Amino acid sequence: MTVQEPIAAPSSKWSLAGLLLRGSTQFGLLVILVVMWVVLSSIAPGFLSRFNLNSLGRSVAIDIVIGFAQMVVLATGGMNLAVGAIGICSVMAFGYLLQVLGLPIPLAIAATLLMGAAMGWLNGIAIVKTGVNSFVVTLASASLFSGAMLILTRAVPYNALPPAIGEFGKAAVGPVPALLIVAVAIGIALYVLFKHTVLGRELLAVGASERAAQMSGVPVGRTITIAHVLSGMLAAAAAMMLTARLAAAMPSVAGDDWLLPSFLAPVIGGTALAGGAVSVIGTVLGALLVSTIRSGLLILQVGNFWLPLFLGAFLLAAILLERYRALLVQRHRTRNA
């Protein structure tokens, strides 16, 4: 017999409340999601219809990738307000490459990803070289990027994209939309990055404590730049997925509209704004929650106008609950000690 583990608690502690207390943020989110789905599908049978689930899946896929784009920068303790601006630039670049230059689709995808990476690289370099707060730099660069895009394209949408783009946006493997598969694949790649690679650990180390990371030999400047390059690429990926979903490249679809969703998914999912902690699964669940609220309001015919109010309230409630839970866990531990 070894020493008794503290986890082997009496059975009364395995109540739902206890599980919620000791489980992770992500588990709590999952419970909230399941409750919402049960309630919504019992009130409105249309919620679980194949049509609604399909449209939910396609929109959540894009929200997930937008959330990832913010998450990788949050990991280093910075933020990227230019996610939306890089998004619209990528939407228009993708449209231009396909429609005006007539590039083959794989080449256009690669070029757009490269452009997103380049814009992220500019952000990263500006932050590292000047030492200015990432908030100010990306606020300014968002203005620069979207201004340049508007000057160059005059905000005229590209409507005559190759039909394959729109077909991919509608495609599905069984009941699962192709866009969602892309988002999940990106999620798996990011999970591996943060869990199992040196770069991922370095990103988190810089976010936890820049000074400590530097002293342990982590190249802080390079790591922050890489985070922004990744963020730019993810924003470009989200932009192309959005283009596929709409089957057209329009400049009005991103920009400021991405600011809130980009923070909602990771922050609700338990990614710390101070840096050093990310949750890929949490971001996915956070995006699911946002899309569920949106879809639920539509199904219940509350009207889209109230949506921002619900999103804001949910964001606050989610963070408050998490704080409260952390407090309870701490008290529980102190009592047991």
Choice between 36 and 307, CB closer to other proteins: 307
- Minimal distance in Å, beta carbon 188 to other proteins? 28
Nearer to other proteins, 139 or 181 (CB): 139
Give yes or no for a contact between 239 and 87, defined as CB atoms under 8 angstroms apart.
Answer: yes
- Residue whose CB is less far from other proteins, 187 or 255: 255
CB of 289: closest distance to other proteins in angstroms? 14
> Residue 66 CB, nearest distance to other proteins (Å)?
15
Nearer to other proteins, 49 or 143 (CB): 143
Q: Measured from the CB of residue 4, what is the shortest distance to other proteins in angstroms?
A: 36
Tell me if 98 sits within 8 A of 161, measured CB to CB: yes
Compute CA distances 182 → 58, 90, 270, 290, 314, whole Å: 10, 17, 23, 19, 27
3-state SS, 210-240, equals HHHHHHCCCCHHHHHHHHHHHHHHHHHHHHH
Q: How far apart are CA 75 and CA 309, in angstroms?
A: 27
Are 231 and 72 in contact by the 8 Å Cβ rule? The answer is yes
Least Å from the CB of residue 132 to other proteins = 5
80 or 180: CB nearest other proteins = 80
**Interface with other proteins by CB under 8 A: which residues?**
79, 126, 130-133, 135-137, 139-148, 150-151, 154-155, 256, 259-260, 263, 267, 273-274, 303, 305-313, 315-316, 319-320, 323
Smallest distance, other proteins to C-beta of residue 198, A: 29
Minimum distance from CB of 216 to other proteins (Å)? Answer: 26
Phi then psi for residue 99, to 5 deg, are -85, -45
Q: How far is the CB of 30 from other proteins (least distance, A)?
A: 22
Of 57 and 275, CB closest to other proteins: 275
- Residue closer to other proteins (CB basis): 82 or 204: 82
Q: Facing residues of 177 across strands?
A: 172
Which helix (H) or strand (E) segment is 172 a member of?
strand 172-173
**Best CA proximity match to 111, nearest among 92, 97, 101:** 97
d(CA 179, CA 57): 8
Residue with tokens 């995808």: 109
Rounded distance, CA 238 to CA 260, Å? 15
CB 77 within 8 A of CB 275: yes
CA distances from 274 to 142, 206, 221, 294 (A): 22, 11, 17, 28
Q: Which is nearer to other proteins, 168 or 263 (CB)?
A: 263
